[in-house]
């Protein structure tokens, strides 16, 4: 809290960030906790999210610094306050006196135990403020279960580069409707627009008109590879939150979007309405849904471990241990089989996962081709496809460390297939 005319004023953004961090200890992702910030103003909600994300991206580095000055392990609530102030000062450039005073006031507001720890927090953070080697500390590593698997797949040097990309975070990318004028930003070779900083999206040109939507550059490539034509009947399976549905509809396809979640499908409807696009929305289990008329093409962005999105979701490594990957892979295989069964001869399927694990990408493709001899891979030949993105089998393997000088991209596996027999 800050002091104004002798009265304590709550620091909403910092309290919001601490509430999100506390929720992680309960096993809840940041996305699951949006309701915890509803009492804050829009600006404070955004700042609370940014602060929590920054703490998670630099958690291990903050603990390394704090360990120099702590005599014993603090309580979890105090540890979060210490990490927040450390990251604010050493990473975000917050003035030390402001960050330290706010941290002390936050501790004093946590009851008797917090008041007892306030002196320790003050003393430790005043020493942290003088730390000069923050930039020299190693990047935050991935958890061992994931790092080991990725080193086996890509090598140690590549994984270190991915970890650096995760720590750097993710810029905002936009997908444009055909013919729309882009807000000011970098036009990427794939056609996405990358924004600088953290602008208020609703204030940007084209938001109210629905000229664009937020979508990571890698996520946008799955629909591009499907290459739908106006009037084609397309199924978008596991469609929410709807970025790919919007792409397909904007290309003139007759889209049926299927997702099992009513709540997530409501977001798809909102996005379609804002962008003045249409699609048939079906809330159903994608494994059980079957249209009356076979589709010309199917886009299957399957449920996965989401290990390719850590640069924008740094909470995931703290909440997952890899135990569920085998079950998710079984579900992916079943979804592929169902999609292939629905396709007519000549029909196309794009299978995509936002995962870095070969079990959810390269291995899935190899197994699908074995189970379905009538499938053939359509090797992408677009001029925006860089040689380093292609696997030997002709699929796209995208990684967070690609385009590092531009701000990276999410990790994705994407393959385009045709049913020939």
3-state secondary structure 310-327: CCCCCCHHHHCCCCCHHH
Tell me if residue 209 falls in helix, strand or coil. coil
Known catalytic residue: 275?
A: no
Question: Residue 35 has what pLDDT?
Answer: 87
Q: What is the pLDDT of residues 45-102, one digit of tens each?
A: 989 999 999 999 999 999 999 999 999 999 999 999 999 999 999 999 999 999 999 9
- Classify domain 173-419 by CATH architecture: 3-Layer(aba) Sandwich (3.40)
Closest CA to 328 of 349, 298, 307: 307
Catalytic residue among 238, 275, 304, 354: 354
Band of pLDDT at residue 267, cut at 50, 70 and 90: very high
Asked whether residue 289 carries a pLDDT value surpassing 70, the answer given is yes
Band of pLDDT at residue 3, cut at 50, 70 and 90: very low
Contact 93, 85 (CB under 8 A): no
Work out the average pLDDT over 367-371.
98
Where exactly are the structural domains of the chain?
2-136, 173-419
Band of pLDDT at residue 320, cut at 50, 70 and 90: confident
Both structure tokens of 208: 């109210």
- Percent of the chain exceeding pLDDT 70 equals 98
- Classify domain 2-136 by CATH architecture: Orthogonal Bundle (1.10)
Band of pLDDT at residue 421, cut at 50, 70 and 90: confident
Q: What is the pLDDT of residues 184-214, one digit of tens each?
A: 999 999 999 999 888 888 889 999 999 999 9
Q: What is the pLDDT of residues 105-156, one digit of tens each?
A: 999 999 999 999 999 999 999 999 999 999 999 999 999 999 999 999 999 9
Work out the average pLDDT over 306-317.
95
Entry pTM: 0.92
Q: In residues, how long is the chain?
A: 421
CA distances from 328 to 16, 322, 336, 356, 411 (A): 33, 10, 12, 14, 17
Average pLDDT, the chain: 94
Asked whether residue 250 carries a pLDDT value surpassing 60, the answer given is yes
């Amino acid at each position: 809290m800050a002091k104004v005319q002798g009265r304590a004023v709550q620091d909403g953004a910092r309290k919001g960030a601490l509430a999100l961090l506390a929720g992680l200890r309960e096993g809840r992702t940041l996305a699951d906790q949006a309701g915890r910030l509803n009492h804050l103003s829009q600006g404070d909600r955004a700042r609370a999210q940014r602060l929590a994300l920054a703490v998670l991206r630099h958690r291990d580095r903050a603990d390394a610094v704090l360990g120099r000055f702590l005599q014993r392990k603090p309580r979890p609530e105090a540890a979060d306050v210490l990490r927040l102030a450390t990251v604010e000062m050493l990473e975000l450039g917050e003035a030390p006196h402001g960050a330290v005073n706010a941290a002390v006031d936050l501790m004093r507001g946590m009851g008797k135990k917090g008041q007892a720890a306030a002196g320790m927090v003050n003393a430790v953070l005043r020493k942290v403020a003088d730390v000069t080697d923050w930039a020299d500390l190693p990047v935050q590593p991935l958890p061992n279960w994931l790092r080991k698997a990725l080193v086996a797949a890509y090598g140690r040097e590549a994984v270190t580069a991915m970890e650096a990309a995760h720590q750097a975070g993710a810029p905002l990318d936009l997908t444009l409707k055909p013919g729309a004028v882009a807000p000011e930003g970098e036009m990427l070779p794939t056609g996405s627009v990358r924004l600088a900083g953290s602008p208020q999206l609703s204030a940007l040109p084209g938001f109210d008109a629905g000229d664009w939507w937020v979508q990571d550059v890698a996520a946008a490539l799955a629909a591009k590879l499907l290459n739908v034509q106006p009037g084609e009947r397309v199924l978008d399976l596991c469609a929410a939150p709807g970025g790919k549905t919007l792409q397909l509809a904007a290309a003139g396809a007759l889209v049926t979007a299927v997702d099992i979640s009513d709540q997530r499908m409501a977001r798809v409807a909102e996005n379609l309405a804002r962008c003045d696009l249409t699609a048939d929305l079906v809330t159903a289990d994608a494994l059980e849904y079957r249209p009356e008329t076979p589709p010309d093409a199917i886009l299957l962005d399957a449920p996965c471990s989401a290990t390719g999105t850590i640069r924008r979701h740094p909470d995931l490594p703290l909440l997952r241990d890899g135990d569920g990957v085998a079950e998710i892979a079984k579900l992916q295989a079943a979804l592929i089989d169902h999609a292939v069964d629905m396709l007519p001869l000549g029909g196309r399927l794009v299978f995509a996962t936002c995962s870095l694990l070969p079990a959810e990408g390269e291995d899935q493709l190899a197994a699908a081709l074995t189970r379905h001899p009538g499938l053939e891979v359509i090797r992408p030949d677009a001029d925006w496809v860089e040689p380093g993105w292609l696997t030997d089998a002709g699929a796209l393997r995208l990684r967070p460390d690609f385009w590092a000088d531009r701000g990276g991209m999410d990790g994705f596996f994407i393959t385009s297939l045709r049913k020939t027999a």
